[in-house]
Chain A
Amino acid sequence: MKITDDSPPTLSALDRPNSYIGRSVPRPNLARLTRGRAQFVSDVTLPRMAHVAFVRSPHAHARITAIATAAAKTSPGVIAVVTGAELAKVITPWVGVLTHLKGIKSAPQHAIAVERACWQGEAVCAVVARTRAEAEDGCELVDVGYEELPAVTDAETALDAGTPVIHPELGDNLTFERVLVAGDPDQGFKDADAVVETTFVFGRHTGVTNEARAIVADWNSGDERLTVYQGTQAPHMMQNLFAKHLGLEEHQVRVLTKDVGGSFGIKVHTYADEMATVALSKLLKRPIKFVADRIESFVTDIHARDHRVKAKIGVKSDGSITAWEIDDLTGIGPYSVYPRTSGIEANQIVNLTGGPYTCPNYRARARVVFQNKNVMCQYRAVGHPIATAVTEGLVELAAAQIGMDPLEIRRRNLIPDDAHPSSGPSGIKFEALSHHESLAHLDAMMNYAGLRAEQKRLRAQGIYRGIGFASFVEVTNPSAAFYGIGGAKISAQDGVTIRLDAQGAIICQTGVTEQGQGAEAVIAQVAASSFGVPIERVRIITGDTDNTPYGGGTWASRAAGIGGEAAWQAGKALRANVLACAASILQAKPENLDIRNGAIVDSGTGTERLPLHELARIAYFRPDTLPPGFQAELMATRHYVPRAWPFAFTNGIQASYLEVDTESGFVTLLKHWCVEDCGTVINPQLVDEQIRGGVVQGLGGALFEHCIYDERGQLTNGNMADYLVPMAAEMPDIEIGHVVTPTADSELGAKGAGEAGTAGAPGAVMNAINDALRPLGAKPLTDMPFTPGRILQALDRV
């Protein structure tokens, strides 16, 4: 293990000549974005394209008694008005369950509601017109009769006998429940000198991608083929689902994804209005475009978090943790989202709570219930911000209770760096982690002792600053254990195909996708290094199910670790093929040759023997000059999926330094630190920027973001003026450090880094606020977001 800040790690096996691994190479695809020349799906226009807008339910729960469409059908520009019942003849409904989440249940969900709307914002009728504006005019003229039904909005009472059951055929409002007991929690709490018990609440929030969800579906009845331009993280998954529910074969569906204006897990799910758009294209036999407007985004993009966790920790006076207990409750809307289900976040909270620590005594229960609000599903760092805030909140409250420094209690309980392989309290398996080295690095990087001295000095002047920490583990590089074993057709493996073009450049086709993380840069760096060309001689093709190997896409921090390894192996395979060809041309032994910087060289001396463009010229245009029987194979494909471990867990620790204005309740974020261990760092700049962006997304959840529903299931702040997101002026500078513990599951050794920031930031901020207010005797704040009002309440000022 080795600490690095901005310098690349030393990599023996990967350290080929002109290696790009560990270098902050600029991303190859940025210039078009800075020049307004990108192509987002919302930019796509096709001949004969029409636009769809949806009439959406104003009620959280209502029976649809009638839909009068005649007036809308004669509105200028309107091409068709289609109800749920009419569209159901073209597209079948779906049920979001997975077999490995034992007992999870849900009801069939339609592309457009049939008979009943189950949340405010569910589409009940589609209007297709020449322009979006004309489609919206048509929507105004659709007269829908509703009979309001009782709305189930409070998760706490969703399972009560007196609460109506949203889907009577399911028997109750319980989507999923998991109970886990590990070690001996009862004995653990008996052995404790102090027990801290509290309830953590996490507000509902959502992704607010800057580009809304967008899709253009083009059914060509001549080709009998559907081409879908979609801002998605998982093109092959969507190809499978479109085919399945439209009654097509997968080869009849092509999904194209070019530029995507932000995803964060929002764009990896099946959305009813997007399914309706592809079905409308099939029905009307022309291209149909749907782009959600901002209000539609707020009421239909998946929401996340919204958990209430009762939690308990036992600790001895020497700081050793003796037991954990959590009881999680979450309301996920009226349907479990397809195909990943809405049970995963709660399941992750059970898996991850207590994860960084040695104490094995653990009791957990998680219940997931239906309610009449927008659906919830997986969003960046699924479950991690909750499990981390609960764990780290408990640890710091326990430390305060026994009068121990918050870093010291962690030193005494974090899994030792030399104890791996190891397990977390829930049984999750860790190949190798570096909690203690990360903590030591953070301690030095932030000058912890100095900050404590400053904090003390300022308190004497009535200035209340706080320091809070969050150690964490992060799930990355998921194997088939995440979804495949539960029956979802979501690929855990990914492939890369590399071919040599006729001028000696390489073309890489990859199943992982780009939504801004830098996947294209990482694949290019790895392929250039593995094969042996300058990075300028690499072109990446991604986001096209017709032209990339079958793969999962980009989610769960998998693109670099899984797609990167496939690129590494494909580059090696193509190098071997090219060297075989070079050897036959040069009458040399392949093992005495190498490819470096775009040329075949003598591997011992590095002397150039043949430029790649000359090899390509001979192989493609004068193969008659090659020895009889020799066939050059200048295209190679390799696939990779993690097999040794279900997930490549990463680890790290964050710290927040902030000031609370005890008069106004406002929090000023002064500085934030994160030390993270994602294994081999392929591109230090991209890793750091993933972490910074992730931290800020976590800070939003801690301080601002909240989908506020009233008791009738109406979202009351569904616009960007009322739903607050982090903006530049409120955000701190964020310092990043690294510890490098490669995974031995791949040659590259890279783990993921996309979610670490979001995982730890809310817990660190919560602990810092409570640290700031502790001398004032404030009640610990455990209810996110920490608004000024809540802070003043904790101080008994309102």
Chain B
Amino acid sequence: MNARVHDITMTVNGEETRATVDARKTLVDFLRDDAALTGSHIGCEHGVCGACSVRVDGAVVRGCLMLAVQCDGARVETIEGVAETDEITDLQEAFIARNALQCGYCTPGMLLTAQELLAAGGVPSREQIRVHLSGNYCRCTGYQAIVDAVEAVAQARHSSRETR
């Protein structure tokens, strides 16, 4: 049953990681169980809730809909890695200031997905923010605080670009 195993190499948060994995193992299970990076969470296990969002070669993907073997040779970034850079410090601070998380289980996926929108530049409307986040489930906040936080960061980044 577990005969189908593969040797893979991927860069996880900048570190080269070699492993032998079952063909059936999802990327998020690999990150959590094998790489011990538990910041990526498992919610629905079928691509609906966004709790397992990670970046693969720069694109935000669902860690439960990709297999670890598909990431052989890829560059994978999780919330732990992104948090160690300065890339989303302002967004993290805005989430805290606005209480845009309660239980915090959706937050890593929400932050990476919001950053994808913010990195595209400009100041998105609240409507655009809501649509962009519409694949990330949050049971606690009712979303308004999250929209507020993302909007505030978009405006701040925009005005800092303007004044540069």
A and B: interacting chains: yes
Contact for B99 among A75, A686, A725, CB less than 8 A: A686
Chain A: minimal CB distance from B148 (Å): 9
Q: B9 within 8 Å of A by Cβ?
A: no
Across-interface contacts of A77 in B (CB, < 8 A): 2
Chain A: minimal CB distance from B38 (Å): 4
Chain A: minimal CB distance from B131 (Å): 5
Binds B, one of A205-213, A541-549, A558-566, A782-790: A205-213
Q: A645 within 8 Å of B by Cβ?
A: no
Contact for B46 among A26, A207, A720, CB less than 8 A: A720
Residue-wise, chain A 730-773 has the 8 Å CB interface mask toward B (1 for contact) of 11011000000000000000000000010000000000000000
Q: A48 within 8 Å of B by Cβ?
A: no
Residue pair A33, B46 in contact (C-beta under 8 Å): no
Residue pair B101, A516 in contact (C-beta under 8 Å): yes
Closest to B146 in A: A728
Q: A460 within 8 Å of B by Cβ?
A: no
Q: Which of A26, A36, A726 has the most CB of B within 10 A?
A: A36
Known contacts A26-B96, A210-B103, A697-B139; A42 and B111 CB within 8 A of each other = no
Across-interface contacts of B73 in A (CB, < 8 A): none
A212 to B44, CA, bound (A): 9
Closest to B78 in A: A36
Residue pair B142, A693 in contact (C-beta under 8 Å): yes
Known contacts A75-B1, A210-B138, A728-B133; A30 and B95 CB within 8 A of each other = yes
Residue pair A211, B140 in contact (C-beta under 8 Å): no
Chain B: minimal CB distance from A54 (Å): 16
Contact for B96 among A31, A728, A729, CB less than 8 A: A31
Across-interface contacts of B36 in A (CB, < 8 A): 45
Chain A: minimal CB distance from B121 (Å): 21
Chain B: minimal CB distance from A316 (Å): 39
Residue pair A693, B102 in contact (C-beta under 8 Å): yes
A34 to B105, CA, bound (A): 9
Closest to A733 in B: B144
A260 to B140, CA, bound (A): 12
Chain A: minimal CB distance from B64 (Å): 10
Residue pair B1, A137 in contact (C-beta under 8 Å): yes
Across-interface contacts of B1 in A (CB, < 8 A): 75-76, 137
A31 to B104, CA, bound (A): 10
Q: A518 within 8 Å of B by Cβ?
A: yes
Across-interface contacts of B96 in A (CB, < 8 A): 26-27, 30-31, 34
Q: A133 within 8 Å of B by Cβ?
A: yes
Residue pair A34, B134 in contact (C-beta under 8 Å): no
Residue pair A264, B139 in contact (C-beta under 8 Å): yes
Across-interface contacts of B41 in A (CB, < 8 A): 40, 42, 210-211, 261
Contact for B39 among A31, A36, A262, CB less than 8 A: A36
Q: A340 within 8 Å of B by Cβ?
A: no
Chain A: minimal CB distance from B97 (Å): 6
Residue pair A209, B139 in contact (C-beta under 8 Å): yes
In chain A, positions 709-734 with a C-beta closer than 8 Å to chain B are 719-721, 725-731, 733-734
Across-interface contacts of B33 in A (CB, < 8 A): 131
Closest to A514 in B: B103
Residue pair B140, A262 in contact (C-beta under 8 Å): yes
Closest to B92 in A: A34
A40 to B38, CA, bound (A): 9
The A interface, classified by DSSP as helix, strand, loop or mixed, is loop
Residue-wise, chain A 31-55 has the 8 Å CB interface mask toward B (1 for contact) of 1011111111011010000000000
Q: Name the interface size band of chain A.
A: 35 or more
A685 to B104, CA, bound (A): 16
Closest to B40 in A: A36
Contact for B144 among A35, A36, A692, A721, CB less than 8 A: A692
Contact for A35 among B22, B39, B105, CB less than 8 A: B39
Across-interface contacts of A728 in B (CB, < 8 A): 129-131, 133-134, 136, 138, 143, 146-147
Q: B24 within 8 Å of A by Cβ?
A: yes
Closest to B47 in A: A721
Q: B12 within 8 Å of A by Cβ?
A: no
Residue pair A692, B141 in contact (C-beta under 8 Å): yes
Closest to B148 in A: A733
A518 to B145, CA, bound (A): 15
Residue-wise, chain B 40-53 has the 8 Å CB interface mask toward A (1 for contact) of 11111110110100
Residue pair B102, A37 in contact (C-beta under 8 Å): no
Residue pair B102, A40 in contact (C-beta under 8 Å): no
Closest to A515 in B: B103
Q: A250 within 8 Å of B by Cβ?
A: no
Known contacts A26-B96, A211-B41; A695 and B142 CB within 8 A of each other = yes
Across-interface contacts of A45 in B (CB, < 8 A): 36
Residue-wise, chain B 79-105 has the 8 Å CB interface mask toward A (1 for contact) of 110010000000010011101011111
Q: A191 within 8 Å of B by Cβ?
A: no
Contact for B140 among A26, A36, A133, A516, CB less than 8 A: A516
Across-interface contacts of B108 in A (CB, < 8 A): 34, 36
Across-interface contacts of B83 in A (CB, < 8 A): 34-37
A99 to B145, CA, bound (A): 43
A210 to B42, CA, bound (A): 8
A343 to B131, CA, bound (A): 40
Q: Which of A207, A728, A757 has the most CB of B within 10 A?
A: A728
A727 to B44, CA, bound (A): 14
Q: B135 within 8 Å of A by Cβ?
A: yes
Chain A: minimal CB distance from B104 (Å): 3
Chain A: minimal CB distance from B144 (Å): 5
Q: B106 within 8 Å of A by Cβ?
A: yes
Residue-wise, chain A 125-152 has the 8 Å CB interface mask toward B (1 for contact) of 0000001011001000000000000000
Q: A602 within 8 Å of B by Cβ?
A: no
Q: A429 within 8 Å of B by Cβ?
A: no
Q: B56 within 8 Å of A by Cβ?
A: no
Contact for A261 among B25, B44, B80, B105, CB less than 8 A: B105
Residue pair A518, B99 in contact (C-beta under 8 Å): yes
Residue pair A210, B24 in contact (C-beta under 8 Å): no
Across-interface contacts of B40 in A (CB, < 8 A): 36
A727 to B131, CA, bound (A): 9
Q: A154 within 8 Å of B by Cβ?
A: no
Across-interface contacts of A757 in B (CB, < 8 A): 142
A757 to B46, CA, bound (A): 30
Closest to A32 in B: B104
A137 to B144, CA, bound (A): 42
A113 to B145, CA, bound (A): 44
Residue pair A34, B143 in contact (C-beta under 8 Å): no
Chain B: minimal CB distance from A740 (Å): 20
Contact for B139 among A27, A75, A262, A719, CB less than 8 A: A262
Residue pair B104, A720 in contact (C-beta under 8 Å): no
A309 to B36, CA, bound (A): 50
Residue pair B104, A34 in contact (C-beta under 8 Å): yes
Q: A412 within 8 Å of B by Cβ?
A: no
A549 to B76, CA, bound (A): 44
Q: B66 within 8 Å of A by Cβ?
A: no
A795 to B133, CA, bound (A): 33
Residue pair B37, A36 in contact (C-beta under 8 Å): yes
Closest to B101 in A: A33
Residue pair A42, B99 in contact (C-beta under 8 Å): no
Q: A389 within 8 Å of B by Cβ?
A: no
* 29 A-B contact pairs sorted by A residue (CB < 8 Å): A30-B99, A30-B104, A33-B101, A33-B104, A36-B78, A36-B108, A37-B39, A42-B42, A134-B2, A210-B103, A210-B137, A259-B103, A517-B102, A686-B99, A689-B102, A692-B141, A696-B142, A719-B44, A720-B137, A725-B139, A726-B142, A727-B135, A728-B130, A728-B143, A729-B131, A729-B133, A731-B143, A733-B144, A734-B142
The 9 closest A-B pairs by CB, nearest first: A36-B39, A33-B104, A516-B102, A261-B105, A516-B103, A696-B142, A36-B79, A729-B134, A43-B38
Interface residues of B (CB under 8 A from A): 1-2, 22, 24-25, 32-33, 36-46, 48-49, 51, 78-80, 83, 92, 95-97, 99, 101-108, 111, 126, 129-131, 133-147
Other than the known A209-B139, A259-B104, what 19 A-B pairs have Cβ atoms closer than 8 Å? A33-B104, A35-B83, A36-B78, A40-B41, A43-B38, A210-B41, A210-B43, A210-B137, A211-B103, A259-B103, A261-B103, A294-B44, A515-B103, A516-B140, A693-B139, A693-B140, A694-B142, A729-B133, A734-B144
